[in-house]
Structure 1
Amino acid sequence: MTRAPQALLAVRSLLLDHLNIDDTRARDADLEPNEVGIVGDTNHRGGYHCGSDRVVTNDYSVVESPRDRNGLTLDAAALDVGTFQLNSGGRTHNLFTFSTWCVAQCVANTPDTRDIREIIYSPDGKVVRRWDRLGRRGTGDRSHLWHTHFSFFRDAIKAGRDQRPLFRRYLAHIGLIGGDDMGRHVRHGEQGEPVRDLQFRLNRLGIKTKNPKVKGAEPTALTTDADYGDHTAEAVKAFELSVLGKDYKGDGKSALAATWTRLDDAYWLQLIAKHAPKPPVQPAPTIDYAQLAKALDLHGLSGAIPLPALAAQLAASPELAWALTDELLKRLVTTKQG
């Protein structure tokens, strides 16, 4: 029978440990145990909530990717997360902000999202959207207005790969756990996946610096080699200076919790700027110089110049047009006051 794999049970426990604030009673604001599901109910057939005993013919959770075909076991490969709301770090966080944050990480293809096939979610409780790594679908049914669905490639579940890093990062992002819990405090000379993640984030923001070990080198992006060397330190320093300016006194040889937060915030600002609607371009006002010439003539400002000639002069000389218009406005105001 379909079973819940340990990798997803660990994610479930992590979320409940930190988002079920009061585990002694059920509260609407909390994420309750019955709101975090892995295995579909006994009538559920097909999809990532089912293992090999419940998939159906041409099941999309099996046939659309070799990662799923090769990873099919009795394990379910999906996680549902229900509603919650809490205040942390001076902000309100809920299922909608959690979901959009996770989707943004998937769009950015951060290393800790690459086992996620899809997220079906609502950004606002009004519309349902779907991020699909394979680009097959764009929406889901209305039940996703109040719960978010994560599908994981089945080969990742079969391999028992830890799926908690993304969710730990979210909890740290909203201030519920510290950077040490993320295991991402890194320093010059260290190696490993946290360093690779740091390099990826710096590159994603477009940070380019000279490699101190290459004489006469031009500024370049980092090689994501998971090695916190001099070039990575220069990139960290450049990033921190771009955010903090003269308040940054470091040498780029450490990336602790505050640096990771600034990296995330900078990316969010970049993403918002990229996708924010552009203000409409206002057309330049059109001036009817013939009408302006008539108005000037009516108030004694045309001199002896024929109106067609005056209109042509006004069109050819914006300075003259502004000067005479200004004088016209003065006379109109004087006339009105009189």
Structure 2
Amino acid sequence: MTRAPANLLAVRSLLLTHLDNAPGPDDLDPAEVGIVGDPSHRGGYHCGSDRVVPNDYSVVESPRDRAGLTLDASALDVGQFDVRSGGRSNTLPSFSVWCVAQCAANAADTRDIREIIYSPDGSTVKRWDRLGKRTTGDSSHRWHTHFSFFRDAIKAGRDQRPLFRRYLSSIGLLEDDDMTPQEHNWLATVHKNLTVLDGRNPIGQIYTRIAEGRDETGIAVTGNWNLRAMTAQLTDLQNKLNALAAKDFTDEAAIVQGVLAGLTPEEIAAAIPPTIAKQVADELARRLVA
């Protein structure tokens, strides 16, 4: 039985979370976002392997679809809405035109989309086809937009939300970062390199040379300034300073002699405590006799 895959259910949930009950005259209702065709539906991306027909275009026109055919449906229909956000009205036609422009520009998060059948004005039906094989659609697409995804992407379980998150961010309904997928990939690469600081990649080599004075590439590193050597030098310097601080550099006798040289005999006598005055006098008398 044809089933709704988890990655398209995630897209459906994302759109309903932000467009259902959104401010405006017409929000997006759950019944307006579909994945699996009704029981009588046969053929096309809304059908899994049990409902496709002979020479079904959703299977035979692309090797990606042939390789990815499973019971999973591989399409999403989005119905009409008119919500106010970012100081403007955002509608199904403007949403569809925005998505088609992203696909035409080959944005990284659109490359699993095979086609979009839509109306830019609610009257004319157009079809953007990545394979360039089809250009038309029936009149029902005046009030709903159809997205077909390559079946191999659905089979692989690839997340299809990034494009729709970008749309919701662009109209102010979703607070999200403004980095492109390429910038996300670049940041992931930087993070990976920074967490592998063992010298086996350029960033790691810089780290080990600066921090430890070694290099895992097999090339000898001599005379290289590094934090480990500097730490050892600072530790040695600290030990020497501690040893000097423990020494007594005071010459008490020289200090006393210098003080006495600047005093008169009367001042010296006055400075002698009464308790030892007699002992001082006796010592002086002894020295004079000698």
Matched, 1:98 2:57: no
Structure 1 residue 179, shift from structure 2 partner: 2.3
Distance in 1 between the 2:182 and 2:151 partners? Answer: 31
C-alpha deviation, 1:180, in angstroms: 3.5
Q: Which residue of 1 aligns with 2:81?
A: 84
The verdict on how the C-alpha distance between 1:13 and 1:105 changes in structure 2, with shifts beyond 3 A counting, is same
The 5-angstrom pairing of residues 108-257 of structure 1 reads 108-180=105-177, 190-191=187-188
SS at match of 1:190: helix
Matches within 5 A, 1:54-69: 54-69=51-66
Structure 2: how far apart are the matches of 1:39 and 1:145?
20
CA distance in 1, matches of 2:187, 2:7: 27
**1:106-129 alpha-carbon deviations (Å, 9 max, x no partner):** 000000000000000000001000
Q: Which amino acid aligns with 2:119?
A: S
Determine which of 46, 50, 66 is the counterpart of 1:49.
46
SS at match of 1:29: coil
Secondary structure, in 3 states, of the residue corresponding to 1:86?
Answer: strand
1:172 and 1:182 in contact (8 A); partners too: no
Q: Aligned residue for 2:4?
A: 4
Partner of 1:242: none
Write out per-residue CA displacement over residues 151-198 of structure 1, whole angstroms, 9 at most, x where no aligned residue.
0000000000000000000000001111249797969x83459xxxxx
Q: Spell out the pairing of 1:245-324 with structure 2 (5 A cutoff).
A: none
CA contact (8 A) 2:108 2:181 kept: no
1:299 matched to which residue of 2? none
Per the alignment, do residues 143 and 86 of structure 1 end up closer, same or farther by CA in structure 2, a change over 3 Å counting? same
> Contact conserved, 2:16 with 2:30, CA < 8 A, in 1?
yes
Q: Deviations over 1:73-131 (max 9, x none)?
A: 00000000000011111111000000000000000000000000000000000100000
1:71 CA drift (Å) = 0.2
In 2, Cα distance between equivalents of 1:19 and 1:164: 14
What SS class does the counterpart of residue 70 from structure 1 fall into? helix
Alpha carbon RMSD of aligned pairs, Å?
2.3
The answer to whether the Cα contact below 8 Å between 1:53 and 1:74 also exists between their aligned partners in 2 is yes
Q: CA deviation at 1:40?
A: 0.2
List structure 1 segments (4+ residues) > 3 angstroms apart after TM superposition. 180-187
CA contact under 8 A between 1:169 and 1:182: conserved in structure 2? no
- Relative to the length of structure 2, the TM-score reads 0.62
Distance 1:87 1:32 in 2: 16
Structure 2 SS opposite 1:151? strand
Q: Distance in 2 between matches of 1:40 and 1:165?
A: 24
Aligned residues: 189
Q: Summarize deviations over 1:174-233 as a string: whole Å, max 9, x none.
A: 01111249797969x83459xxxxxxxxxxxxxxxxxxxxxxxxxxxxxxxxxxxxxxxx
Gaps of 5+ in 2: 191-290
1:155 is aligned with what amino acid?
A: D
Cα shift readout 1:297-324 (whole Å, capped 9, x = no counterpart): xxxxxxxxxxxxxxxxxxxxxxxxxxxx
In 2, the alpha carbon distance for the partners of 1:159 and 1:8 equals: 12
Distance 1:184 1:59 in 2: 33
> Which amino acid in 2 is paired with 1:81?
V
Matched with 2:219 is none
1:287 maps to none
Q: Within 2, Cα distance between the matches of 1:192 and 1:32?
A: 40
> What code does the residue aligned with 1:130 have?
R
Q: Which residue of 2 aligns with 1:30?
A: 27
Can you give the 5+ residue segments of structure 1 that lack an aligned partner in the other structure?
194-338
Question: Partner of 2:21 in structure 1?
Answer: 21
